[in-house]
Structure 1
Amino acid sequence: MTLRELVIAYFQYPAIIGYLTSAIVAIGLFFRYPAPLVPTLASIGVALLVYPLVWYCLHRWVLHSRWMFKVPLLAATWKRIHYDHHQDPNRLEILFGALHTTLPTIALATAPIGYWIGGPGGALAAFATGLLTTCFYEFCHCIQHLAYKPKNKMLIEMKARHMAHHFHDERGNFGITNYFWDKLFGTYYERIEKDKKSETVFNLGYTPEVAERYPHVARLSGGVATGHPSQRIPH
């Protein structure tokens, strides 16, 4: 895949169109309800700093939780937003999260801080920053999952860390573009440091045995797939 093909594929995803449209609306509203320059810049800066930590916490303690599939009302959401992605990391139609879950999350992670700093204008600036940061994260996510070989050293390292998260051990490397919090909390690793592959790297701990007790996700999935995605027999 060429860079041009990657960009074309990226802009075809409804989620990206949704993020960009929302960012344009937020920026437009900012000019209707502006904040002073310093609070605006502060709101943008804090949103950029907070975003990687929020993503790390959500990815580690929510998306990789072992409590969501136990709750019938949350099982379908967990399945859609992360279980399916780990079951088969190359399924491109579920590469991005669902807008009804991601947009409120981005707003809650950024807008209150921006409002505290600069009122409505600060909230809009922070929210727009979160949306555009998400677009950058998802572009890197595309690089990591699509058949594109980056030449940039930083992107190569990002892809290696994320592929290890998907195919070697899901209990680390929770960042997408920023692994500072992984290093701080001791979850950063290079594949050569772990000679044994995690047995739950594709099912996130939702094993056939667990499914017998909490069957909600299994019912929605037509069972519990096991083994490497490329070695499974299609239904």
Structure 2
Amino acid sequence: MMVAKKFTVDLNKALVFQVGHLGEAYQEWVHQPIVSKEGPRFFKNDFLELLTRTVWWAIPTIWLPVVCWSLETSFHLGQSLSEIALLVLAGIFIWTLIEYILHRFLFHIKTKSYWANTAHYLLHGCHHKHPMDGLRLVFPPAVAAILCIPFWGLAKLLAKPTAAPALFGGGLLGYVIYDCTHYYLHHGRPSRNPAKHLKRYHMNHHFRIQTMGFGITSSMWDGVFRTLPPALKAWTDSPTLY
């Protein structure tokens, strides 16, 4: 009886259309990180390859003006500054729950078919395989813009028309804080808490227990939904992680 040969990913070639062939072995492969600042090539096509790369500062540059516009819209619709401040805080709070849900249930979904593996690798698997790739750490603006559509729908569902823009703006601000924090936890050198604790917490998720510790900006929802990892071991920062 002939046994089929296991597929091997060639790291020297474009990866996206290779990883799907791993089948059930994909989950094990993608959670064995390669710690290197040099990111892999995703596509042979140069234009598609360019779309996968985003510098971290593009996130506040693009989205903070949208946040300000959203808050200004609610102000002109009659919301007071104190009401807007509360709506912003509510939006940030809601984002922390969305952040947790996306990370746990979408980004860490189990896949084994060709196209499911491929989609997962593009969405989040690439980050676990190459966690120090600084140009594929934050959401590409085009993807974030698509996600804004259901989030705007949620804001309209939860708040009256005059308050919905400010609530949406608060959630969007929460997203900006999340993406910038995520980048800093991978590439910064925090010396004080809470940033030092958050870095250790997140590196624990990448390198020790990848099925727990889904919070990025906070471990609050991990506590609520019982996905807190066991007590963290002392973490010795390695120069290879910067």
TM-score (norm 2): 0.64
Structure of greater relative contact order (alpha carbons < 8 Å, 6+ residues apart): 2
The superposition leaves residues 189-220 of structure 1 with CA deviations (integer Å, 9 ceiling, x where unpaired) of 23439xxxxxxxxxxxxxxxxxxxxxxxxxxx
Residue 59 (1) aligns with residue 103 (2)? yes
Instruction: Please tell me whether residue 137 in structure 1 is matched to residue 178 in structure 2.
Output: yes
Residue of structure 1 in register with 2:3 after alignment: none
Mapped pair 1:126 → 2:167: yes
Q: Aligned in 2, Cα 1:12/1:185: closer, same or farther, shift over 3 Å?
A: closer
Is the aligned partner of 1:154 residue 2:154? Answer: no
Q: Which residue of 2 aligns with 1:233?
A: none
Q: Offset of 1:114 from its aligned partner?
A: 5.2
Contact 1:11 1:17 in 2 (8 A): no
- Partner SS, residue 194 of structure 2: helix
In 2, the alpha carbon distance for the partners of 1:41 and 1:158 equals: 26
User: Does the 8 Å contact 2:92/2:173 carry over to 1?
Assistant: no
Q: Which runs of 5+ in 1 are unaligned?
A: 1-9, 194-229, 231-235
Q: CA deviation at 1:70?
A: 3.6
Separation in structure 2 between the aligned mates of residue 55 and residue 90 of structure 1, nearest angstrom: 20
Rounded Cα–Cα distance in structure 1 between residues aligned with 2:109 and 2:58 = 27
**Could you say if the C-alpha distance between residues 105 and 15 of structure 1 is closer, same or farther in structure 2, counting changes exceeding 3 Å?**
same
> What SS is found at the alignment partner of 1:118?
coil
* Structure-2 residue corresponding to 1:187: 227
Q: Distance in 2 between matches of 1:171 and 1:63?
A: 11
Q: Call closer, same or farther: CA 1:105–1:17 in 2, change over 3 Å.
A: same
When residues 106 and 71 of structure 1 are mapped into structure 2, their CA distance, relative to the original with a 3 A threshold, is farther
- 1:86, CA displacement in angstroms? 0.7
**Residue in 1 aligned with 2:133?**
91
Give the Cα–Cα distance (whole angstroms) in 2 for the partners of residues 41 and 15 of structure 1. Answer: 22
Q: Is the 8 A contact 1:43 1:125 kept in 2?
A: yes
- How far apart in 2 are the matches of 1:127 and 1:44? 8
CA distance in structure 1 between the partners assigned to 2:76 and 2:174 by the alignment: 22
User: Any idea what the Cα deviations from partners look like across 1:1-48, whole Å, max 9, x if unmatched?
Assistant: xxxxxxxxx986323322223223323433443435676455333322
Output the amino acid matched with 2:197.
E
Q: Residues 141 and 12 of structure 1: is their aligned pair in 2 closer, same or farther, counting only changes over 3 Å? A: closer
Equivalences, count: 181
Matched, 1:102 2:133: no
**Alignment partner of 1:79 is 2:147:** no
Identity percentage of aligned residues: 21
Offset, 1:50: 1.6
Could you tell me the TM-score, scaled by structure 1's length? 0.65
